[in-house]
Structure 1
Amino acid sequence: MLKNIPNVIVLAICALLLCTSASAVEIQNLDQANIKVDSRGKTERNHALKQALSVTFIKNSGDASVLSDTLIKEYVQNPNRLLTQYVYYQQDNALYLKAIFDHQRLIQVLRQAQLPVWGNQRPLTLLWLSMPQASVHEIVADAAQFEAKEHITHYATNQGIPILFPLMDLDDSMQVNVTDVRGKFATVIERASERYDVEYFVVANMDNAADEVRYQMSLYEKNHHSGLIQALVNYQGSALDENLAAEQIIDQMSAYFVSRYAIASSGDNLNTLLKLEGVSSMKDIVDIEHYLGELTAVKSIIINQIADNTVTYSIELFNQVDDLKRLLNINNRFEMLPALLPSTDDSYIDPIVTAPAPLTYRWHSR
């Protein structure tokens, strides 16, 4: 069964995030972008379509530098080559153009340019952010309604970075205060983050200073496997205002995730076997193959062996086996098991495809 990535059109932008596991999020709307325009004129439309395709390329690679590639530039200058439809709509007394592109062809263009592709399965990050409000600093809560918070959410959405703000209800307030965030007391904040189904959390602060906003941020893995929690990313800088500071924080997060999860084709034919235990129904097989087919590390999948409640797949990869492992490990339906030698029972095994030690996981049905 060969990999087949469907071109899914989602009608509501508010449905961008659909949780699929305790820490992985399935990103929707990777085939489209919404651009604010002043009119429906042809010149304005052509400019907006170029902007929309640029945004869509960035969402699917996670890296704004892809726009400097020669091939990507050619497509951005002529977005109609990938455009499937566009529509105007009104929101909050403003006019927007929604452009929808051929997602499968867009991914092929990124592959052709040998650029990284970031799939729709992405880690969810909890953002503990302290910002100045009036004369004091406050932790930005999920229910907060002010311009900077809305801008952070909008920018992260356009970048394809799923984020979550803490509720700051009684449970959170009993464990974390603004001093903990400003002091970057990671152990305290990690403990408070346990109630949230996220893979990572960020501790960030903003401060007003003269004509600029200074900020610092640290990214942590929530379920780390070492005794001492250490930041994966530490960064500090300044920006002209809070919105630009927020964008730079999101950009730092994106840079790390792209380095870890976005996959560029190596040009080689790399194969591995993936053995899944606990597969008890045809629905399980459908769910598994749908998930594997969406992974950017996977070029094709073929069933190699079926025995009892175990299915083994032969998987052709765009790059390294470790890329596949990282993508499987952010979905809690896949539990990694110690590698075993290939079975020698009487079940059918494709003689063309062999491997000394397949990746072995337990599949958790729903």
Structure 2
Amino acid sequence: MRLLILGVLMLALTAPTWAGSEYFSAQVPVASQSTADRKTALVQAMANVLIKVSGSLDAPATELGMKAQANAGSYVQQFRYIQPTQTMREQGIALLLKADFDPGKVRQLLKESGQGVWPMNRPQALIWAIEDTPERGRQIITDPEHPLVKSLVARANERGLPVLLPLWDLDDQILLSEEHLWAQDEEAILAASTRYDVNTVLSARYSQTSAQQWYATWQFHHAGERRSYDYNTFDASELGAVGVDPLVAFLAERYAVQSASDENEHLQVMTLNGVSDYKDYDSALDYLAKQPLIQQVALVAVRDNQLVLHILLSASWAQLSDALALDRKIRLLNPPEDLQAEAMLGAPGRPAQFQWLGR
């Protein structure tokens, strides 16, 4: 029964933490419903949204970002007050304000300030965690309410990173032992992660001394790349941000769309193979038209199972390929071997060739 209940709790976290519209919303503490307190709270909410949408902690500190915070009310579509939970009340939070900001205005602000815009289609990160404390010894963290895991999830929400936690059922226990997770055994962790169908995995290892000092090591894997980093502190509340922020910075740098002048945007040629019937044809065109890295898409010709398209990119082919790989519906065929080859990709004589997988 315990495993069943735990499984239900974990399954609730296997979906993205919030819908795409929540990238443009923020919930912050507010002292009262007075006009002055509301304006103060909206400044913080605006800063939070700029960070989530751009993926950068620096976005609120730009000149335009600071002006926008000072005039945050003009970006708000709606706001409402929310009563805090009992835990929040115990922390001294009397009231919450949730504000929804205009997506178009926020994107335009970031573009004008030279910041990137991280599309709503983002990698979802699977989190594995283990701790070693004087009181409890070494144990894998299976409780989503455990402070160390909860702080990671909370920080991921603040940064706009969808996360999920493992079920820690019998299958997980067979594939990933306590020893393997403590050693941050890459092969074992990735093997246990396969069932969750993710391409981003974060493992966290925490050790507390008898003097109450925390030593933490994190390791993340994404699309064949790995990064490791560590930190020590007496303040456990710092560990959520330190654990999540390097992963978000890595992903945002890879997937955020950087502002481009109109002069640098131009039509390029793309072929899409494997479009075998009308259903594929309709689905493929609709899917490409909704991609934030593609400004325009136009069908030029249909040749057997291949579509010839003109597209207007707002990013590089490498960025587009990485973004498309997240959904696993389209993949790039014959990736360019070097920067010179990539620069030529999309020219009339060398169209970018993709394969429609249509999952």
Same fold (TM over 0.5): yes
Displacement of 1:16: 11
Give the match for residue 36 of structure 2: 43
Normalized against structure 2, the TM-score is what?
Answer: 0.82
Does structure 2 retain, via aligned residues, the 8 Å contact 1:207–1:213? yes
1:1-366 equivalence runs, <5 A: 17=15, 27-93=20-86, 95-132=95-132, 134-141=135-142, 143-209=143-209, 210=211, 212-221=213-222, 224=224, 232-267=226-261, 268-279=264-275, 284=280, 287-338=283-334, 355-365=348-358
Does structure 2 retain, via aligned residues, the 8 Å contact 1:15–1:28? no
Normalized against structure 1, the TM-score is what?
Answer: 0.80
Does structure 1 retain, via aligned residues, the 8 Å contact 2:180–2:188? yes
Cα distance in 2 between the residues matched to 1:358 and 1:82: 41
Cα distance in 2 between the residues matched to 1:177 and 1:147: 22
Does structure 1 retain, via aligned residues, the 8 Å contact 2:295–2:314? yes
Does structure 2 retain, via aligned residues, the 8 Å contact 1:262–1:296? no
Cα 1:306–1:30, aligned 2, differ >3 Å: closer, same or farther? Answer: farther
- 1:219 counterpart SS class: strand
Identity %: 24
- 2:22 counterpart SS class: coil
Unaligned runs of 5+ in 2: 1-11, 87-93, 336-345
Does structure 1 retain, via aligned residues, the 8 Å contact 2:14–2:164? no
Cα 1:286–1:83, aligned 2, differ >3 Å: closer, same or farther? Answer: farther
Cα distance in 2 between the residues matched to 1:108 and 1:74: 14
Counterpart amino acid of residue 128 in structure 2 = W
Cα 1:146–1:281, aligned 2, differ >3 Å: closer, same or farther? Answer: same
Counterpart amino acid of residue 118 in structure 1 = W
Does structure 2 retain, via aligned residues, the 8 Å contact 1:215–1:237? yes
Does structure 1 retain, via aligned residues, the 8 Å contact 2:296–2:312? yes
Cα distance in 2 between the residues matched to 1:169 and 1:196: 13
Cα distance in 2 between the residues matched to 1:164 and 1:365: 25
Counterpart amino acid of residue 56 in structure 2 = D
Cα 1:355–1:52, aligned 2, differ >3 Å: closer, same or farther? Answer: same
* Count of residue pairs brought into register by the alignment: 327
Displacement of 1:17: 5.0
Cα distance in 2 between the residues matched to 1:34 and 1:132: 33
Cα distance in 2 between the residues matched to 1:158 and 1:219: 19
Give the match for residue 6 of structure 2: none
Q: Determine which structure has the larger strand proportion and give its number.
A: 1
Q: Which has the higher contact order (CA 8 A, sep 6+)?
A: 1
Does structure 1 retain, via aligned residues, the 8 Å contact 2:329–2:357? yes
Residues 264-298 of structure 1 deviation map (CA, whole Å, 9 limit, x = unaligned): 12421244223223445666556445543454432
Q: Determine which structure has the larger helix proportion and give its number.
A: 2
Displacement of 1:250: 0.5
Taking only aligned residues, the RMSD between alpha carbons, in angstroms, comes to: 2.8
Displacement of 1:218: 1.4
Displacement of 1:328: 1.2
